[in-house]
Amino acid sequence: MKYLKQFSFCFFFLNSNLLFADVIEISPSADPYSEIQEALILASSGDTIKLSDGYYELEDSLSIDVDGISLIGSSINGTILSFINQQSGAQGLLVTSNDVTLKEFTVQNAKGDAIKAKGVDNIKFIKVKTEWTGGPNSFNGAYGLYPVESTNVLIDGCVAIGASDAGIYVGQSKNIIVKNSTAEFNVAGIEIENSYYADVYNNTATNNTGGILVFDLPSLPQQGGHHVRVFNNNVVNNNTDNFAPEGNIVGEVPRGTGILVQANSDVEIFNNNIGGNETINIAVVTYSYETDDEQYNPHPSRIQIHNNKFGISGHNPDLETGELAKILYELSKGDMPDIFWDGVVPISKILSSKVKKETIILGNNGDATFLSISPIKYMLPFLNPVIRDYDWFVGEISPLERVVLSEN
């Protein structure tokens, strides 16, 4: 009985915040910003701020800095937070606290990013929509859903439309799940950048410039992106012209790109439906720009591609944006492949016969076609540098482990 009492006391103590949690209900009003922001400031851990159905016009950025609270609307299309007349703030909503749940509402026309979460743990985006309603435009905000420098990130059942960089972007983070979501009419539909352990599955990326991007970039606090699984997604018809502001790295992505992997290691792409992308279905490339970051590794490695279903691609390549499509079109003489690897390897390994299979491993992808480049032959004008032998790159697939999020 003594131990039972001790257990009961501990259970009560650990869950007391739930027992005394409040639900603060808010409806559209003449000054919705003040009401919502005041509730977010005064909330305690375990509280829920519930926004009823309706249209909330906000002129200032909202922020959450209290751990353990939830901001919940009536439904993904029923509660609209509009920032069309936003006067201040770099985003629509900024989250800087842990254990926060955002659920069932839309953020429209934010001046900058729609929803940013920075340096947080256990952040959940569930049935949240971000949108710029005027269509693709370089003046739209850069990111829709934007968790960065965070851990245990869940994005589930969300929609992102019209971002001038990435609709769903997870950067410099660890332990990530992006699932059951739709990204369309963004430059990049879904982007995992400089991150560790990410599962991206059961999503639809369509009508973007590029469907799904897995990037690792230099000169960032976290780099060496690795262990990313991209599976069971529909990556189709990503043929929107690139509308990124000048100077953005995604501004180099050609219209008609399905999946693009740059400089990551341990990426597994499988069981996806990929097609209708007018330039390339899958490309694996080295980061080709100059950098002063001596610790940065620009080369991809251990990229496994298997059991995908490919549709038509390469039938109308974008030869005006960046260098990828132009080089590929020239090398292929217009016969564009489904899968492309640029063949660039470290100089120290350029003569190794193993490095090719250490970089890219192909499994069964039906009738998919392949193209790569021999860097030695590419430097010698009298030799054909093009490699189209798919079977040469077939190897044993070593499945990556699934991502499991930890919650406090």
Q: pLDDT > 70: what percent of the chain?
A: 90
Higher-pLDDT residue of 15, 329: 329
The pair of three-digit structure tokens given for residue 407, joined into one six-digit string: 């919650």
DSSP 8-state code for residue 324: H
Q: How far is CA 118 from the centre of its chain?
A: 15
**What 3-state DSSP class applies to 356?**
helix
| pLDDT in the model for residue 383 | 74
Q: How confident is the model at residue 378 (pLDDT cuts 50, 70, 90)?
A: low
SS3 255: coil
C-alpha span between 114 and 141 (Å, rounded):
7
- C-alpha span between 238 and 275 (Å, rounded): 9
- In whole angstroms, give the CA distance from residue 135 to residue 119: 31
DSSP letters, 330-383, are HHHTT---SEEE-----GGGTT-SSHHHHHEEE---TT--EEEE-HHHHHSTTS
CA distance 281 to 366: 14
The amino acid present at 402, given as its one-letter code, is: R
Backbone angles phi, psi at 387, to 5 degrees: -115, 120
Q: How many residues does the chain have?
A: 408
358 confidence band (pLDDT: 50, 70, 90): confident
Of 268, 67, 181, whose CA–CA distance to 170 is shortest?
Answer: 181
d(C-alpha 281, C-alpha 324), whole Å: 13
Residue 17 has pLDDT above 90, yes or no: no
The residue ranges of every structural domain in the chain are 112-393
Per-residue confidence (pLDDT) for residue 77, from 0 to 100: 98
Cα 133 from Cα 137, distance rounded (Å): 10
pTM: 0.93
| Distance separating alpha carbons of residues 48 and 58, to the nearest angstrom | 20
pLDDT band for position 382 (cuts 50, 70, 90): low
317, 256 in Cβ contact below 8 A? yes
Percent of all residues in the chain with a pLDDT value above 90, rounded to a whole number: 86
Give bridge partners of residue 171 from the DSSP assignment: 148, 193
What is d(CA 310, CA 367) in angstroms, rounded to the nearest whole number?
8
pLDDT at 203 over 80: yes
Confidence of residue 1 (pLDDT cuts 50, 70, 90): very low
- pLDDT of res. 345: 81
Once rounded to an integer, what is the mean pLDDT over residues 359-363?
Answer: 95
* Tens-place pLDDT, residues 142-162: 999 999 999 999 999 999 999
**pLDDT (tens digit, 9 = 90+) per residue, 87-145?**
999 999 999 999 999 999 999 999 999 999 999 999 999 999 999 999 999 999 999 99
Q: In 10 A of CB 17, how many CB atoms?
A: 14
Instruction: Work out the average pLDDT over 367-393.
Output: 84
pLDDT score of 352 more than 60: no
Q: Is the pLDDT of residue 4 over 80?
A: no
Q: What confidence category does residue 11 fall into, taking pLDDT thresholds of 50, 70 and 90?
A: very low
Residue 280 pLDDT > 70, yes or no?
yes
Contacts with 67 (C-beta within 8 Å, 6 or more apart), sequence order: 45, 97, 98, 99, 100
pLDDT of the residue at 350 = 60
Quick one: pLDDT band at residue 8, thresholds 50, 70, 90? very low
Q: What is the amino acid identity at position 239?
A: N
Output 376 or 251, whichever has higher pLDDT. Answer: 251
Q: What is the mean pLDDT of the chain?
A: 92
Taking the CA of residue 197 as centre, how many other CA atoms within 13 Å lie in the half-sphere pointing to its CB? 13
Angle at 394 (CA atoms; ends 369, 211), nearest 5 degrees: 50
Place of tokens 């660890």: 174
Amino acid at site 182: T
- Quick check: 308 pLDDT over 80? yes
